[in-house]
Chains A and B, each alone.
Chain A
Amino acid sequence: MKKFTKLAGPAAPLMRANVDTDLIIRIQRLVGTGRTGLGPYAFENLRFLPDGSENPDFVLNKAPYREAPILLAGANFGCGSSREGAVWALMGAGIHCVIAPSFGDIFHNNCFQNGLLPIALPEEVVKQIAAETEASQGARHTAIDLVRQVVITPEGAEIPFSIDARKRDAMLEGLDDIALTMRLKDQIEAWQKADHAKRGWVWESVKL
């Protein structure tokens, strides 16, 4: 996983609630094996009109936001399907941070597995960042500092955010979960051995 410490750029406001992972990436684009190359398909149903042309009203098609690394969204962003392709598509489209009032649980976990930072802030604050960004027509940037755990709005207000300590450390250091868990291999095997004695039925009926 790539390390994440700081980020700055325009924050694209997609101020709708319940943006589901089907909307972020269509399942048809995930019938394949790749984690890469999904960027062009992010938000396909919003980004393009039925005739295949770009929808000029969609925020990521507007000039200041085409390269936006930060997305602002409504509550419950990333609800629905567990498809990690939603994170791969966002990152492929250059988005490395989503700021929203709340997130779908599985999507939230998937973000951290890939180095995309989900920041939960109250809806009024998300709206404030959107308003400040739009007032400058996207010219003024939002900055994220993960070490200090602050969002700096286009007008310069510093807004602290909370984040799970374990997840923050993994992001800052770009740690691999499996390698960390492997350090506990002896403990896992001891647990399993004890469990065989305690709950033999879990193991016996599925023996190969």
Chain B
Amino acid sequence: MPATLFDKIWDPHVIADLGSGWSLLHCDRVLLHDLSGGRALREVGEAGYAVPHPELAFATPDHAVATSPGRTAETFPKGGELIAGLRKRAADTGVRLFDLGQDGNGIVHVMGPELGIVLPGTTVVCGDSHTCTNGGLGALAFGIGASELRHVLATQTLPQKKPKRMRIRFEGAAPAGVTPKDMILHAIGRFGTAAGTGYAVEYAGSAVRALSVEGRLTLCNLSIEMGAKMGMVAPDDVTFEWLAGRRFAPKGAAWDAALAHWRSLPSDADAVFDSDLLISMADIAPQITWGTSPEQVLPVTGHVPDPASTPDPIRRAAYEAALAYMGLTPGQPIAGTKIDWVFIGSCTNSRIEDLRAAAAVLRGRKVAPHVTAWVVPGSERVKKEAEAEGLDAAFTAAGFEWREPGCALCVAANGEAVPPGARCVSTSNRNFVGRQGPGARTHLASPAMAAAAALAGAIADVRQFAA
């Protein structure tokens, strides 16, 4: 029977049928971070359970760490307590910890792939909704809550209900200025923020095959903003070349065995999806969000919608609330809207290719004087690689601050925040009310679009800033 990529990973991971559509699923990899990892390890012990497979868990502080140059765990004291807890519990249970400043430290969904912890065909869980990012390598990766995390650490399994399967095909060549971030924001705008609820989404099509691993991780990262807990891309030679030789990737004969398995994973040609959607790349322009939900997104040439022309009362109320919060006028062109901040970073867009794309726009130009611009590399490795290429110099010469790895202004859990009322173009994943700080106004965009906005001091079309 023809099977999808999703089924080919899910089915062999089922240990037991729990009835009513539920399965007990084996979890091959567990990623832990400072915000919930230390607590979960502690609670497992307090409940009287052991952690039977510490070798399958990997911890990194990222959420509540300051990103200022020269930072330590204690720079943000409340985060320092969380990191101390994570260090202690990781040491007690034998879980590997990649501490601040060490090789391997970084945003959990950046370091997991780059260390070869996440592999095609594996199940990966983490107490973070953006775990779907890791599906870019062809893994079945999904975010879980604190109680589920405790369950996984104690049993290496999780009861899960099998989701339906959705495929979104992107066909054609990327138009100028269109990046993976624009592809997925366009999809969310078109299908809605709940379109993927209850589905595992596979991204396919010629435009996805043409993406680098970094691009595929970005694409999968925003699956949860479409409601889908899991997003994935079938592994191929691009994936295998990217993974080969990474620290925890299999080596020698084990690599050969893995490779043979991985090559069997892509969806069969005649596999059936419960929902099968198609996007033509020609329809996508560089994207920018205008509101407080990722579905409230426009091509940069677009105009802010008018709630009065929206018949559904709940949607109209949401538009009115979003416009009021964002300080925008119905019908105004989104381009030209003055901004105060730019943030390049997050598990969405902090990898080396993201930094290269932004630096290419910035080279030889200056950030508008009224704009505060930060770039926060996703990991120690990204930071070192960028510095070796001179990207840090390109950013600082343009007027950006070059900072230490962490989640930073994506989630503002680390004492850093966009000030109330300030308008920020951000490469992160959520434009929710208060996400980047109380009263902060967030516009989501690609790294190149964020760089263009920094230069213009306003929301700008990156195509007018050809590198």
Interface residues of A (CB under 8 A from B): 15-18, 20, 22-23, 26-28, 30-33, 35, 45, 50, 74-76, 79-85, 87, 102-106, 109-110, 113-114, 123, 164-166, 177-178, 181-182, 184-185, 187-188, 191-192, 195, 199-208
Contact = CB atoms under 8 A, between A and B. Distances in A.
Given A82-B127, A164-B161, A205 B439 contact: no
A104 B145 CA distance: 12
A17 B292 CA distance: 12
A84 B128 CA distance: 10
16 contacts: A16-B318, A18-B295, A20-B432, A27-B411, A45-B433, A103-B197, A104-B227, A106-B129, A114-B147, A181-B151, A181-B159, A182-B154, A184-B157, A185-B155, A188-B24, A191-B15
B56 interface: yes
Given A15-B314, A50-B420, A166-B20, A105 B145 contact: no
* 7 interchain residue pairs of minimum CB distance: A113-B147, A110-B145, A201-B250, A201-B258, A84-B145, A84-B146, A82-B129
Contacts of B85: 33
A19 B18 CA distance: 31
Contacts of B56: 206
B346 to A, nearest CB: 13
Given A82-B145, A201-B250, A23 B194 contact: no
Given A50-B439, A205-B249, 10 more contacts: A22-B430, A28-B412, A81-B411, A84-B146, A165-B20, A166-B22, A177-B159, A181-B151, A187-B16, A207-B55
Interface string B183-225: 0000000000110011000000000000000000000000011
B366 to A, nearest CB: 33
Contact of A106 (B35, B121, B145): B145
Interface string B122-154: 100001110000000000000111111011001
Interface in B250-309: 250-251, 254-255, 257-258, 261, 293, 295
Contact of B94 (A87, A113, A199, A208): A208
B128 to A, nearest CB: 6
Contacts of B255: 201
B434 interface: yes
A188 B438 CA distance: 45
Most chain A CB within 10 A, of B64, B146, B193, is at: B146
B177 to A, nearest CB: 28
Size band of the B side of the interface?
Answer: 35 or more
Contact of A16 (B193, B251, B317): B317
B154 to A, nearest CB: 5
Given A76-B197, A76-B227, A82-B145, A201 B82 contact: no
Interface of B: 15-16, 18-22, 24, 26, 28, 35, 38-39, 42, 47, 49, 54-56, 63-64, 78-79, 81-82, 85, 94, 96, 116-117, 119, 121-122, 127-129, 143-148, 150-151, 154-157, 159, 161, 193-194, 197-198, 224-225, 227-229, 248-251, 254-255, 257-258, 261, 293, 295, 314-315, 317-318, 321, 411-413, 420, 430, 432-435, 438-439
A28 B228 CA distance: 25
B28 A202 contact: yes
B97 to A, nearest CB: 13
A18 B197 contact: no
Contacts of A202: 28, 119, 122
Given A22-B433, A82-B143, A105-B227, A30 B254 contact: no
A30 B35 CA distance: 8
A200 to B, nearest CB: 6
B139 to A, nearest CB: 11
Most chain B CB within 10 A, of A23, A28, A35, A182, is at: A28
A82 B257 CA distance: 35
Nearest to A46: B433
B55 A79 contact: no
Contacts of B193: 18, 76, 79
Contact of B150 (A178, A182, A184): A178
B148 A31 contact: no
A192 B145 contact: no
Contacts of A104: 197, 227
A82 B36 CA distance: 11
B48 to A, nearest CB: 10
Contacts of A16: 314, 317-318, 321
B197 A105 contact: yes
A33 B39 contact: yes
B82 to A, nearest CB: 7
B293 to A, nearest CB: 5
A188 B433 contact: no
A208 B432 contact: no
Nearest to B262: A201
A59 B127 CA distance: 31
Contacts of A166: 18-20, 22, 159
B257 A106 contact: no
A109 B117 contact: no
Given A33-B85, A82-B145, A202-B28, A187 B15 contact: yes
Contact of A178 (B155, B161, B197, B228): B155
A110 B147 contact: yes
Contact of B413 (A27, A165, A195): A27
Contacts of B148: 109-110, 113
Contacts of A23: 432-434
B187 to A, nearest CB: 16
A166 B1 CA distance: 29
Contacts of B227: 76, 79, 104-105
Contacts of A114: 147
A75 to B, nearest CB: 6
Contact of A205 (B15, B38, B250, B411): B250
Contacts of B150: 178
